[in-house]
Amino acid sequence: MTSHLKHTNDTELQILLCGDEDSDEYRRTAAHVETCEACQKRLDTVAGPTQLDAETRELLSDYPWEALSNSRTGFQGTDGLPDQAESLTFLNPPSHPEMLGRLGRYEIERMIGSGGMGLVLKAFDTELNRPVAIKVLAQHLAHSGAARQRFARESRAVAAVVHEHVVAIHNVEADDQNPFLVMQYVAGESLQARVDREGPLDAKEVMRIGIQAASGLAAAHEQGVIHRDVKPANILLEQGVERILLTDFGLARTVDDASLTHTGIIAGTPHYMSPEQANGDTIDQRTDLFSLGSVLYFMATGRPPFRAERAMGVLNRVCHDTHRPVWQVNSDIPDDLSDIIDRLLEKKASRRFASAVEVRESLVRLLARTQQHGTRHRNRVKSFVRQRPFLSSGAIVCLASVIVAGFMFIPSSVERTRFRSIQPTEPVAPDNNISLAQQDQAIAAESAVYSATAQEISARLQQLEATSNAAQFAQPASDGFWQDSASFKVRLDQLERDTFRDSSISSTKEER
Amino acid sequence: MKSPVPDTRNSLILRLPDKHDVEAWDQFVSIYEPLVYRLARSKGLQDADAREVVQEVLVSVSRAIEQWEFDPERGRFRDWLFRIARNLMIKFMTRRKHRPIGTGDSGIAQMLEQHADPVSEEESERFDLEYRREVFRWAAEQVQEQVKERTWQAFWLSSIEGHQTEDVALKLEMSVGAIHIARSRIRSRLREAIKTLEQDNTENISSHNAR
Ligand SMILES: Nc1ncnc2c1ncn2[C@@H]1O[C@H](COP(=O)(O)OP(=O)(O)OP(=O)(O)O)[C@@H](O)[C@H]1O
Ligand SMILES: [Mg+2]
Ligand SMILES: [Zn+2]
């Protein structure tokens, strides 16, 4: 029966189970076992109990595989953007030889550029006889149902914003599957390109562009549209005319949806993100004001306020570091402009300007004053004060949020302990077996304590409702940490120290 | 006015500096996406709504990750992640309407309203069964990628679809002995793959085994 004389040993059996099917030892061993029932039996035993086969069959034989592909809302394993040749395959052949291709009624002239979301093409609308810019969702995003829907939905919202400083959306269309956005073509360059080429702009230019950007944002905010991705690359400077246009309103969410399921890798630059965005907190219109502050900073100094080698480092600094004031980096920038930027860059949204309209008005007043009376600049004494990290509002805000976070844990832990100890007869259930009624009681008890604490805490709590609800059930019942409220104090102290240490370190770094 | 929306793009990268944690998240997503989707569909939601629920659950969990940092004593990230996700999901499935889960999404609110009964053992058992189904599906996908197509076919046709070994051997032009080897090979690998999740997440698997 056996073609080879020797039976296999355990190591060889392991090779059959785990080894490389193309290796010589695998083939050699397989050749024997294929024809040796004794060795097959042993292999079968080593492979584990056969009930697993039965269970696999029970669970997978009628698995709904079609539902699987539907459920995958994110894109699978796509890294980086496709190259141009591949990425233009969706185009139909052109009707003129000098064109790249056709998309519906649009003749594609050339590719203008690409970003985190897809390609921007220059095209000609053959029906209305005008040049247009077309934004096509990148292939990897087009595969995501959620991203596609969001793209279309948000684009329509933006289309409602009609303003001289907002790029007009002509149309949202779809070719087979891929949605694309037809918009006003802006001949010129982006603010990013301009500053890269020419370096920092002068103060009046910063104000002029700032005023236009703020009024574009104000118009959008009035319609309930948040930009979410204000940055120099999304500010277009029209050639020959002194006019800027904001583009890419609201589209950042398209990328969010897809990348969420792909470990949250950032597409595009994180430099202009607000702390609340970086933290994944709830955002409102004031996120755009922070980003606008970063853009003004960039125009005035030639670089964004927070820099680091890696994206994560940038975001950490956005959340925790105090920027170096503009007037220290570029002494040509007047104090008042530097102060406006500081206020836009407040970590806490409530400390920023209340609206884009307010920003616009402040800048208009400042520009008028500058043109009439010139500018004011700080002397050295002030500069000394300004450099103390402990006086920086950022550090204080950070500390406050740490303390708030600390408070959030104290009542919840105390309540948990009490809740457990008054019901000693209850069988000790593993956490995931706590009944809903118990969960609800615990939540009710917690919220009673919460409502007694300061307003700020409860506001923050509301934001984190989903978070705390979820996390509350995650602690193992035996977790000694939660029984010991003294350790909170220790922990809080440590956090406090860390916060101050971090912020002083980073601001020293920033001075260099 | 639009209501404020959570921005999830960067929370994860901030919260998961550790490569293993990122892997755990990936694994979590590949199990939970279809799991949540199927559960939502079985509650009568349409495709688009079910996808929204998937997004919302992932968003909720990713937001919960904010709290992860505060208490490393909780154990490993992976354990914690699967534990909160399970609890969150069972709550999604059973929560009463007057206390929404906090994301305020209409799709979820709707789903919750339609199923206002108090938590039942049934729901959590059903969850555990469907969870285990996804674990096996996930493991099967991992293993399928690691072996030759023919080896996988041999296993699938005989062990899952229940065809006679001789017929499968004939169809795949393999010897009967080779089919036996293939079946052992796949079983052992499935077991290994499932174990990687089991170790980290004992309660979900073991509670089901006790069935
Ligand atoms: N309406 C338009 N008219 C002319 N050029 C445009 C228009 N919209 C965008 N562009 C240019 O197309 C290029 C690509 O833009 P895109 O928005 O894809 O990338 P981005 O802004 O760098 O990154 P992101 O995708 O994050 O917005 C940019 O150089 C931009 O200046
Ligand atoms: Mg752009
Ligand atoms: Zn033998």
User: All domains of chain A, ordered by start, with CATH?
Assistant: 10-53 (no CATH), 77-186+460-469 (3.30.200.20), 188-390 (1.10.510.10)
User: How many Å apart are CA B205 and CA B211, to the nearest integer?
Assistant: 10
Mean pLDDT of B104-117: 42
- Give per-residue pLDDT as tens, A255-266: 444 443 333 334
Task: Specify the pLDDT at position A424.
Answer: 32
Task: Specify the pLDDT at position A488.
Answer: 36
A268 Cβ closer than 6 Å to some ligand 1 atom: yes
Ranked by mean pLDDT, the top range of A474-478, B168-172, B202-206 is B168-172
Domain check: are B116 and B166 in the same one?
no
Confirm whether B59 is domain-assigned: yes
CA B131 to each of CA A110, A180, A506, B34, B136: distance values in angstroms, whole numbers, following the listed order: 49, 38, 45, 10, 9
**List of chain B residues whose C-beta atoms are within 8 Å of the C-beta of residue A17:** 184-185, 188-189
B162 and A465: CB-CB below 8 Å? no
B contact test, residue of A261, A277, A433, A490 with most B CBs within 10 A: A261
Choose the weakest-confidence range: A24-28, A117-121, A396-400, B50-54: A396-400
Cα A34 versus chain centre, distance: 54
> Which ligand sits nearest to residue A117's alpha carbon?
1
Which of B135, B170, B196 marks a domain boundary?
Answer: B135
- Asked if pLDDT for residue A272 goes beyond 50, the answer is yes
Confirm whether B141 is domain-assigned: no
A73 and B55: CB-CB below 8 Å? yes
Domain check: are B122 and B59 in the same one?
yes
Task: Specify the pLDDT at position B205.
Answer: 37
User: How many Å apart are CA A167 and CA A161, to the nearest integer?
Assistant: 9
- Asked if pLDDT for residue B178 goes beyond 90, the answer is yes
- Asked if pLDDT for residue A410 goes beyond 70, the answer is no
Higher-pLDDT residue of A152 and B162 is B162
Task: Specify the pLDDT at position A31.
Answer: 94
- Asked if pLDDT for residue A387 goes beyond 90, the answer is no
Which of B103, B135, B167 marks a domain boundary?
Answer: B135
User: With pLDDT > 70 as the criterion, what percentage of chain A qualifies?
Assistant: 58
- Asked if pLDDT for residue B57 goes beyond 70, the answer is yes
User: With pLDDT > 90 as the criterion, what percentage of chain A qualifies?
Assistant: 37
Task: Specify the pLDDT at position A300.
Answer: 97
Confirm whether B211 is domain-assigned: yes
Coil, helix or strand at residue A174: strand
Domain check: are B66 and B122 in the same one?
yes
- Asked if pLDDT for residue B14 goes beyond 70, the answer is no
- Give per-residue pLDDT as tens, A440-491: 333 333 333 322 222 333 333 334 333 333 333 333 322 332 233 333 334 4
Domain check: are B61 and B96 in the same one?
yes
Coil, helix or strand at residue A238: strand
Confidence of residue A65 (pLDDT cuts 50, 70, 90): confident
Mean pLDDT of chain A: 70
Range of the domain at B69: 1-135
User: How many Å apart are CA A228 and CA A291, to the nearest integer?
Assistant: 8
Q: What is the DSSP string of A91-154?
A: SBPPSSTTS-EEETTEEEEEEEEE-SSEEEEEEEETTTTEEEEEEEE-HHHHT-HHHHHHHHHH
- Give per-residue pLDDT as tens, A361-374: 999 999 999 988 88
Confirm whether B17 is domain-assigned: yes
- Asked if pLDDT for residue A283 goes beyond 90, the answer is no
Burial of B81 (0-12, 13-18, 19+ CB in 10 A): buried
- Asked if pLDDT for residue A132 goes beyond 90, the answer is yes
Mean pLDDT of chain B: 72
> Does residue A238 have an active-site annotation?
yes
Domain check: are B180 and B203 in the same one?
yes
- Asked if pLDDT for residue B85 goes beyond 90, the answer is no
Domain check: are B11 and B64 in the same one?
yes
Confirm whether B114 is domain-assigned: yes
Report the 10 Å Cβ neighbour count for B38.
21
- Global confidence as pTM: 0.48
Ranked by mean pLDDT, the top range of A273-287, A490-504, B61-75 is A273-287
Task: Specify the pLDDT at position A308.
Answer: 74
B12 and A264: CB-CB below 8 Å? yes
Mean pLDDT of B149-176: 93
* Counted domains in chain B: 2
Domain check: are B79 and B2 in the same one?
yes
Higher-pLDDT residue of A357 and A386 is A357
Domain check: are B121 and B159 in the same one?
no
Confirm whether B140 is domain-assigned: no
Task: Specify the pLDDT at position A299.
Answer: 97
Task: Specify the pLDDT at position B56.
Answer: 75
Nearest Cα of chain A lies from the Cα of B203 at a distance, in angstroms, of 8
Provide the token pair at A493: 């102290």
Instruction: Judge if ipTM > 0.95.
Output: no
Confidence of residue A337 (pLDDT cuts 50, 70, 90): very high
Mean pLDDT of B121-135: 85
Q: What is the DSSP string of B141-203?
A: HHHHHHS-HHHHHHHIIIIIS---HHHHHHHHT--HHHHHHHHHHHHHHHHHHHHHHHHHTHH
DSSP category for residue A201: P
Which of B135, B166, B188 marks a domain boundary?
Answer: B135
Mean pLDDT of A407-427: 30
User: Residues of B numbered 125-164 whose beta carbons fall under 8 angstroms of chain A's beta carbons: which are they?
Assistant: 132-133, 136-137, 140, 147-148, 151, 159-162
Confirm whether B5 is domain-assigned: yes
User: How many Å apart are CA B161 and CA A56, to the nearest integer?
Assistant: 11
Higher-pLDDT residue of A443 and B20 is B20
Task: Specify the pLDDT at position A278.
Answer: 80
- Asked if pLDDT for residue A390 goes beyond 50, the answer is no
Cα A210 versus chain centre, distance: 24
Nearest Cα of chain A lies from the Cα of B124 at a distance, in angstroms, of 9
A183 Cβ closer than 6 Å to some ligand 1 atom: yes
Domain check: are B115 and B159 in the same one?
no
Confidence of residue B22 (pLDDT cuts 50, 70, 90): low
User: How many Å apart are CA B19 and CA B21, to the nearest integer?
Assistant: 5
Q: Specify the ligand 1 atom closest to the Cα of A116.
A: 25
Task: Specify the pLDDT at position A293.
Answer: 98
Ranked by mean pLDDT, the top range of A27-31, A109-113, B27-31 is A27-31
A232 Cβ closer than 6 Å to some ligand 1 atom: no
* Of the partner residues B14, B177, B185, the one whose CB lies closest to the CB of residue A278: B14
Confirm whether B26 is domain-assigned: yes
B84 and A473: CB-CB below 8 Å? yes
* Of the partner residues A264, A431, A435, the one whose CB lies closest to the CB of residue B119: A435
Task: Specify the pLDDT at position B197.
Answer: 78
Task: Specify the pLDDT at position A165.
Answer: 95
Provide the token pair at A453: 């604490």
Provide the token pair at B98: 């007057």
Task: Specify the pLDDT at position B185.
Answer: 96
**Which segments of chain B are extended strands (E)?**
5-6
Among residues B209, B149, B196, which one has the least CA distance to residue B30?
A: B196
Q: What's the sign of the alpha-carbon dihedral A366, A371, A372, A375?
A: positive
Domain check: are B107 and B157 in the same one?
no
Task: Specify the pLDDT at position B66.
Answer: 63
Mean pLDDT of A107-116: 83
Confidence of residue B32 (pLDDT cuts 50, 70, 90): confident
Domain check: are B121 and B183 in the same one?
no
Task: Specify the pLDDT at position B199.
Answer: 55
- Give per-residue pLDDT as tens, A170-228: 888 776 667 788 999 999 999 999 999 999 999 999 999 999 999 999 999 998 888 88
Domain check: are B11 and B112 in the same one?
yes
The three-point CA angle B201-B204-B209 to 5° equals: 120
The residue to mutate among A180, A195, A197, A234, having the most atoms of ligand 1 within 8 angstroms of its beta carbon, is A234
CATH number, position B196: 1.10.10.10
